[in-house]
């Protein structure tokens, strides 16, 4: 009989059905790092959203056969170790193709139209004191006619592209950074940085994408450009981002992620009180409809694995 252990069930707000085969189910709302090994000691299937499973833990779990990741990103799991040990790893695909793009455009519109700055003007009484019916204290820019740089053209990236085209934006799909050749339909990475009014990131975090956007990349962007990151905090080197925002090297940024989450010991970006920077607490993915799709696919993945036909496999 399979023993399934869900290490961090509080990370999903949805109805999670039980698999349609004989099993034991053990669920924890959250799991501290020091308890991961003991809780998985007899598990054959581990479910994790963000609990880290590294080699030193995996090598002490001889019964483990599957890691079901309750997310798309798998950077919290040692994939190579799982391959070596014959442990199947499956993730969730395409569940957030509506909710994340909506969050992207919420950030984009708020920044292009200076929503935070105008809200502050209202709080300070500037409109009430105005000599005319409207305020021209901050620029308002349309999305129509602007250029969107898309870095990452998977399912979410393509959904963002569709919305951008509906707004009348020109879309540039970025080729891989440092690529020797440019694929049809793509534009060189540096060219996308130079020509885009808004740049949005939709990539996994791995050794190749860590600090993909750093000081040299900020130096290529327009001084009015916006950077949107709803993917992973580690894609952007945060110290140069802080400097670029404070010095107005770029026009603004909308982030839903940080390099370390939650930011227990503070973070410079948490205290960056600027109207051209919006930070939300990793909620772009969390639309209720999206989370239910995730929960359903999670159990589908487990049932498919037990049936001998694993799906959404990454290892």
Q: What global pTM score does this model have?
A: 0.93
Sheet holding 277-279, edge to edge: 170-173, 147-151, 198-201, 226-229, 252-255, 277-279
Mean pLDDT of 273-281: 96
Do both 204 and 67 map to the same domain?
no
Residue 282 falls in the annotated catalytic set: yes
Do both 57 and 169 map to the same domain?
no
Nearest to 285 by CA among 75, 50, 110, 104: 104
Give residue 148's pLDDT band: very low, low, confident or very high (50, 70, 90): very high
Give residue 20's pLDDT band: very low, low, confident or very high (50, 70, 90): very high
CATH code of the domain covering residue 131: 3.40.50.720
CA atoms within 13 A on the CB side of 190: 6
Do both 8 and 110 map to the same domain?
no
Q: What are 211-262's pLDDT values in tens digits?
A: 999 999 999 999 999 999 999 999 999 999 999 999 999 999 999 999 999 9
Do both 174 and 243 map to the same domain?
yes
Strand pairing class (45-48; 66-69): parallel
Give residue 304's pLDDT band: very low, low, confident or very high (50, 70, 90): very high
User: What would the DSSP string read from start to end of 111-134?
Assistant: HHTTHHHHHHHHHHTTTTT-SSSS
Do both 240 and 105 map to the same domain?
yes
Give residue 267's pLDDT band: very low, low, confident or very high (50, 70, 90): very high
Domain count, the chain: 2
Do both 211 and 83 map to the same domain?
no
Do both 67 and 165 map to the same domain?
no
**Of the residues 119, 261, 288, 313, which is catalytic?**
261
Distances (CA, A) of 197 to 11, 79, 112, 248: 34, 36, 10, 14
Three-state SS annotation for 206-250: CCCCCCCECHHHHHHCCCCCEEEECCCHHHECHHHHHHHHHCCCC
Helix (H, G, I), strand (E, B) or coil at 198: strand
**Of the residues 103, 173, 202, 232, which is catalytic?**
232
Do both 116 and 256 map to the same domain?
yes
Do both 184 and 260 map to the same domain?
yes
Sheet holding 45-48, edge to edge: 23-27, 2-6, 45-48, 66-69, 88-90
What mean pLDDT, rounded, does the chain reach?
A: 97
Nearest to 280 by CA among 291, 270, 271: 270
Q: Is residue 312, in this structure, part of any structural domain at all?
A: no
Could you tell me if 241 and 214 are in contact, meaning their C-beta atoms sit under 8 angstroms apart?
A: no
Full residue range of the structural domain in which residue 163 is found: 99-279
Element (H, E) at 166: helix 155-166
Strand pairing class (88-90; 147-151): unpaired
Give residue 163's pLDDT band: very low, low, confident or very high (50, 70, 90): very high
Mean pLDDT of 141-158: 97
Mean pLDDT of 304-309: 98
Residue 313 falls in the annotated catalytic set: no
Residue 289 falls in the annotated catalytic set: no
| The residue to which tokens 């190579």 are assigned | 80
Mean pLDDT of 20-45: 98
Q: What are 101-115's pLDDT values in tens digits?
A: 999 999 999 999 999
């Amino acid at each position: 009989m399979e023993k399934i252990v869900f290490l961090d069930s509080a990370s999903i707000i949805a109805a999670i059905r039980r698999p349609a085969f004989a099993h034991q189910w053990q669920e924890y709302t959250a799991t501290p790092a020091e308890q991961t090994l003991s809780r998985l000691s007899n598990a054959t299937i581990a479910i994790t959203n963000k609990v880290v499973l590294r080699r030193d833990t995996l090598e002490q779990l001889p019964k483990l056969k599957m890691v079901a990741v309750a997310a798309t990103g798998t950077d919290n799991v040692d994939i190579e170790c799982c391959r070596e040990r014959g442990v199947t790893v499956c993730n969730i695909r395409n569940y957030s193709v509506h909710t994340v793009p909506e969050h992207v455009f919420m950030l984009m519109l708020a920044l292009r139209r200076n929503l935070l700055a105008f809200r502050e003007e209202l709080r300070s009484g500037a409109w009430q004191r105005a000599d005319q019916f409207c305020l021209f204290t901050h620029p308002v820019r349309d999305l129509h006619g602007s250029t969107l740089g898309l870095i990452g053209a998977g399912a979410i990236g393509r959904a963002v592209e569709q919305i951008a085209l509906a707004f009348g934006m020109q879309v540039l799909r970025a080729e891989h950074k440092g690529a020797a050749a440019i694929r049809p339909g793509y534009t060189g990475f540096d060219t996308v940085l130079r020509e885009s009014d808004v740049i949005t990131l939709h990539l996994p975090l791995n050794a190749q994408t860590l600090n993909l956007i750093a000081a040299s990349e900020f130096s290529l962007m327009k001084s009015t450009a916006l950077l949107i990151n709803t993917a992973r905090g580690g894609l952007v080197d945060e110290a140069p981002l802080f400097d670029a925002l404070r010095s107005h090297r770029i026009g603004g940024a909308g982030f839903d992620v940080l390099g370390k989450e939650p930011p227990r010991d503070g973070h410079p970006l948490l205290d960056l009180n600027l109207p051209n920077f919006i930070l939300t607490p990793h909620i772009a993915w969390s639309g209720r409809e999206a989370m239910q799709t995730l929960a359903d696919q999670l159990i589908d993945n487990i049932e498919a694995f037990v049936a001998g036909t694993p799906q959404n496999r990454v290892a």
